[in-house]
Structure 1
Amino acid sequence: MVSSFFDRPVVVQLGRIDRDRVVVGVREAAQFLLYDWPQDSPARQAAMRACLAAIKGEVSTSAARDAFVAAAREARIYLGE
């Protein structure tokens, strides 16, 4: 069974300094992309596809994490690991 947890968490921030969020896995990333993402973009769509594919076992958790980080960087909400 493939783990649905990222090898390293991803820290994002939606606005206020005290609202950092630590995303630890594929399902949490997918929910965040679906419900809390600040803007739609091709990178967000790619991250959603990657997360859903990882949930189905079609791509690695690492690939989904990379797509999520790329979308977070583009949205300027990425804080680090």
Structure 2
Amino acid sequence: MSSRFVRPVVVQVGRQERERVIFDVNDAAAILLRSFPRQTTKRKLAMDACLQVLRGEAHTPVARRAFVAAALEANILRSD
């Protein structure tokens, strides 16, 4: 099972940082773990969804939707 997103997601975590293109579940999980601006329920749901995909328990679109929702809530989503 592929963990690559059908369409990449673009986020900008900090004001001074460049936009980052998220191509797959691994990229999304790294952003959620290391660079996400705050802990929220949507962030936790997105992290759980990424882990489920990596374990083969869910499909990639589930993680992408959860990541987009968390990024939108955190106001870091630049393109979906």
Amino acid at match of 1:7: V
Supply the distance in 2 between the matched residues of 1:17 and 1:35 (Cα, whole angstroms): 16
Matched, 1:57 2:56: yes
Partner of 1:26: 25
Q: Which runs of 5+ in 1 are unaligned?
A: none
**2:9 paired residue number:** 10
Sequence identity percentage: 50
Match for residue 70 of structure 2?
71
Superposition misfits of 4+ residues, deviation over 4 angstroms: none
CA distance in 2, matches of 1:15, 1:28: 16
Q: What's the CA shift string for 1:18-55, capped at 9, x where partnerless?
A: 51000000011111100010110000000000000000
In terms of mean alpha carbon deviation, does 65-74 or 17-26 score higher? 17-26
Aligned to 2:39: 40
Number of residue pairs matched by the alignment: 80
Gaps of 5+ in 2: none
Q: CA deviation at 1:15?
A: 2.7
Deviation at 1:16, TM superposition (A): 2.7
RMSD: 1.1
The TM-score normalised by the length of structure 2 is 0.94
